[in-house]
Amino acid sequence: MPMSSSKAALRLSENMDGDGRITEAGEARLITTIAEFADLARKAKCVELMPFATSALREATNSEEVLTRVRASTGVDLRVLSGEDEARLTFLAVRRWFGWSAGRILNLDIGGGSLEMSNGGDEEPDVALSLQLGAGRLTREWLRDDPPGKRKIAVLRDWLEAELVVPSKTLIEAGKPDLAVGTSKTFRSLARLTGAAPSAAGPRVRRTLTSSGLRQLIAFISRMTASDRAELEGVSSDRSQQLVAGALVAEASMRALSLDSIEICPWALREGLILRKLDTEPNGGGPVAMPPVEPVGRQHEW
């Protein structure tokens, strides 16, 4: 269990100009936040950082410049994970959580900028995909109205269905899963809103999300404003704006893969990174080997 946990929602993808460059304001906020977290880590006597970044900085056209300035200003060397690495590391965490008896696992993870999908019978998935179907991205591109209109939701549903035809076929061709799993805050929130146990019940309580429950939930939350959704149990104000888009991605993914229900796993990318480090280094010591540089969109995980 973590000694402590702290998060900051940066919304970097909302701080990009027309050329896909992170703005000066977005960069300043990133640097300030990283400096604050690095200071927290030092005060907590953390001897090693594992700073990583994902979608938004991965796609920013000025990511290298931003990363260089982050390093110069904070001393923190952010490493950016590729989408495929995100999918693989998250899959590792899911495998370790459920164990070998789970058989072949199919995992879905909805982030702010991307959707990761993986399928495999070992600790390394046979297929690991990353699609630009994140909840934050789709909210900005499709659901700007609050609440979103019925027509926009219907069109987005059709578009998602078309986008998932090839990826879902690739995923299923790897082998029929014995267990379908969902990771990420989006899936946890959706499960909670459809009747799963609250986080206070502990991580080991079984939680599931059904396709029928999800459809009913979408009909309900799509008529609400973001501020009203933020009042729902288990939904933060940061997540309330992109909850509808996240629910539509979950629904489309489950439908494309013919999944009636999925199990919710409390472990995801952060745990996968830690597990990979422990696996590859004696006594978990020394610098962790990570993919080449590129940057984050969701939030920093420390």
Question: What CATH number did the domain enclosing 60 receive?
Answer: 3.30.420.40
Query: Quick one: 124 and 53 in the same domain?
Result: no
Query: Quick one: 205 and 261 in the same domain?
Result: yes
Exposure string over 207-221, b if 16+ CB within 10 A, otherwise e: bbbbbebbeebbeeb
Residue 30 lies in a domain: yes
Does the pLDDT at position 155 exceed 60? yes
What are the pLDDT digits (tens) for 223-252? 999 999 999 988 988 889 999 999 999 999
When mean pLDDT is compared across 13-17, 42-46, 68-72, 286-290, the lowest value belongs to 286-290
Query: Quick one: 32 and 145 in the same domain?
Result: no
Cis peptide before 167 (omega within 30 of 0): no
For range 210-223, the mean pLDDT: 97
Domain count, the chain: 2
What's residue 1's pLDDT? 59
Residue 189 lies in a domain: yes
Burial of 72 (0-12, 13-18, 19+ CB in 10 A): exposed
Query: Quick one: 45 and 102 in the same domain?
Result: no
Tokens of 1: 């269990």
Q: What are phi and psi of 263, to 5 degrees?
A: -90, 145
For range 192-204, the mean pLDDT: 94
First-to-last C-alpha distance (Å) of the chain: 14
What's residue 48's pLDDT? 86
Query: Quick one: 62 and 34 in the same domain?
Result: yes
Predicted structure pTM score: 0.88
SS3 at position 106: strand
Does the pLDDT at position 293 exceed 70? no
Calculate helix-pair angle for 211-221, 185-193, nearest 10 degrees: 90
Distances (CA, A) of 263 to 101, 163, 207: 15, 24, 6
CATH code: domain of residue 139? 3.30.420.150
For range 48-73, the mean pLDDT: 91
- C-alpha dihedral (22, 24, 30, 35), degrees to nearest 10: 150
Residue 109 lies in a domain: yes
What's residue 4's pLDDT? 75
Residues counted in the chain: 302
Does the pLDDT at position 192 exceed 50? yes
Does the pLDDT at position 35 exceed 80? yes
For range 104-118, the mean pLDDT: 96
Tokens of 139: 């909210």
CA count, 13 A, side-chain hemisphere, 15: 20
Euclidean distance between CA atoms 273 and 92, whole angstroms: 9
For range 24-53, the mean pLDDT: 92
For range 203-207, the mean pLDDT: 95
Residues paired with 109 in a beta bridge: 116, 183
What's residue 301's pLDDT? 35
Residue 224 lies in a domain: yes
Domain stop point among 55, 80, 105: 80
Query: Quick one: 19 and 168 in the same domain?
Result: no
For range 80-100, the mean pLDDT: 96
Q: How confident is the model at residue 288 (pLDDT cuts 50, 70, 90)?
A: very low
For range 272-280, the mean pLDDT: 92
Question: Which amino acid is located at 7 in the chain?
Answer: K
Domain that holds residue 184: 83-267
Domain stop point among 62, 80, 98: 80
In the block, which residue shows the tokens 């009636």? 260
Q: Mean pLDDT over all residues of the chain?
A: 90
Does the pLDDT at position 188 exceed 50? yes
Task: Mention every residue, 6+ apart, whose C-beta is less than 8 A from residue 51.
Answer: 34, 76, 77, 78, 79, 300, 302
Query: Quick one: 139 and 227 in the same domain?
Result: yes
Q: How many CB atoms lie within 10 A of CB 273?
A: 22
Query: Quick one: 262 and 240 in the same domain?
Result: yes
Query: Quick one: 36 and 117 in the same domain?
Result: no
Query: Quick one: 20 and 104 in the same domain?
Result: no
What's residue 296's pLDDT? 33
Question: Which amino acid is located at 270 in the chain?
Answer: R
For range 170-198, the mean pLDDT: 96
Distances (CA, A) of 93 to 54, 61, 125: 17, 31, 11
Residue 132 lies in a domain: yes
Residue 136 lies in a domain: yes
Distances (CA, A) of 64 to 38, 69, 78, 112, 264: 20, 9, 10, 21, 35
- Contact assessment for residue 49 and residue 270, using Cβ atoms and an 8 Å cutoff: no
Domain stop point among 80, 101, 136: 80
Query: Quick one: 163 and 218 in the same domain?
Result: yes
Does the pLDDT at position 196 exceed 70? yes
Residue 293 lies in a domain: no
Query: Quick one: 43 and 102 in the same domain?
Result: no
Does the pLDDT at position 287 exceed 90? no
What's residue 294's pLDDT? 34
Residue 27 lies in a domain: yes
Does the pLDDT at position 18 exceed 90? no
